[in-house]
């Protein structure tokens, strides 16, 4: 289940209903897909897309998405830092950013047109849709692991446009996770 934080307001949301309502006010869709499909850790991308074909098909119809693929990132993924560096600075896309998290975790920061920056930590089972044009950035959590189904309206829209604002540098890419203990030292990754 996701965790939403609004650092400027010292707010942390952990209940799905609260998270859905908060994100909806910013036009971000959030839901949890059920039932989860039991897919082996070493299942291929095709196996994953087959297992979730019904949900992916429904989402395509709903959002006008035409393609789906799987992104699979591990700590030993070649050129991982270079890949992450494309997305950990504030940017936007010409199409929606749609992710269903199958394994691992990730951290979106959203910089809304009005209101303070907030963070959405997503994990397995979470579906998130960040609308086109939304200013945001993305980091992995300390375990540097995420496997997610991505949907696209047009793959050519998937280019990040950087704002160059530097706002992202004011926020640490720190995930809380379900086992976060406030007295523990914060990871620096
Ligand atoms: Fe993005």
Taking the centre of ligand 1 as the mean of its atom positions, its distance from the CA of residue 140, in whole angstroms, is 13
pLDDT bracket for residue 184 (50, 70, 90): very low
Is the separation of the CB atoms in 164 and 137 below 8 Å?
A: no
Taking the centre of ligand 1 as the mean of its atom positions, its distance from the CA of residue 147, in whole angstroms, is 16
Burial 61-73 (b: 16+ CB within 10 A, else e): eebebeebebebb
C-alpha dihedral over 125, 130, 56, 67, to 10 degrees? -140
Q: Which residues pair with 139 in a beta bridge?
A: 107
Taking the centre of ligand 1 as the mean of its atom positions, its distance from the CA of residue 155, in whole angstroms, is 13
Taking the centre of ligand 1 as the mean of its atom positions, its distance from the CA of residue 13, in whole angstroms, is 22
pLDDT bracket for residue 155 (50, 70, 90): confident
Is the separation of the CB atoms in 127 and 148 below 8 Å?
A: no
Taking the centre of ligand 1 as the mean of its atom positions, its distance from the CA of residue 157, in whole angstroms, is 11
Is the separation of the CB atoms in 29 and 47 below 8 Å?
A: no
Compute the average pLDDT of residues 135-148. Answer: 95
> Which chain residues have CB less than 5 Å from ligand 1, an ion?
97
Taking the centre of ligand 1 as the mean of its atom positions, its distance from the CA of residue 183, in whole angstroms, is 32
Residues composing the chain? 189
Taking the centre of ligand 1 as the mean of its atom positions, its distance from the CA of residue 150, in whole angstroms, is 11
CB atoms within 10 A of CB 154: 12
Taking the centre of ligand 1 as the mean of its atom positions, its distance from the CA of residue 160, in whole angstroms, is 6
Taking the centre of ligand 1 as the mean of its atom positions, its distance from the CA of residue 92, in whole angstroms, is 6
Taking the centre of ligand 1 as the mean of its atom positions, its distance from the CA of residue 152, in whole angstroms, is 12
Please choose, from the candidates 118, 117, 102, 122, the residue with its C-alpha nearest in 3D space to the C-alpha of residue 178. Answer: 122
Q: What is the pLDDT of residues 98-137, one digit of tens each?
A: 999 999 999 999 999 999 999 999 999 999 999 999 999 9
pTM: 0.89
Taking the centre of ligand 1 as the mean of its atom positions, its distance from the CA of residue 14, in whole angstroms, is 23
């Amino acid at each position: 289940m996701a965790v939403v934080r609004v650092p400027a307001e010292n707010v942390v949301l952990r209940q799905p209903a609260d998270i859905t309502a908060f994100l909806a006010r910013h036009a971000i869709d959030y839901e949890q897909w059920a039932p989860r499909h039991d897919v082996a850790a070493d299942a291929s991308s095709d196996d994953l897309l087959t297992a979730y074909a019904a949900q992916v098909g429904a989402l395509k119809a709903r959002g006008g998405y035409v393609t789906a693929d799987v992104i699979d990132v591990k700590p030993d993924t070649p050129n991982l830092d270079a890949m992450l560096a494309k997305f950990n600075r504030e940017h936007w896309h010409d199409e929606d950013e749609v992710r269903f998290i199958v394994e691992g975790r990730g951290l979106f920061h959203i910089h809304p047109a009005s209101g303070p920056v907030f963070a959405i930590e997503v994990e397995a089972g979470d579906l998130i849709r960040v609308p086109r044009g939304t200013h945001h950035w993305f980091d992995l959590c300390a375990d540097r692991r995420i496997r997610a189904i991505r949907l696209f309206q047009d793959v050519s829209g998937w280019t990040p446009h950087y704002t160059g604002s530097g706002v992202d540098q004011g926020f640490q890419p720190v995930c809380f996770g379900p086992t976060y203990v406030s007295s523990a030292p914060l990871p620096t990754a």
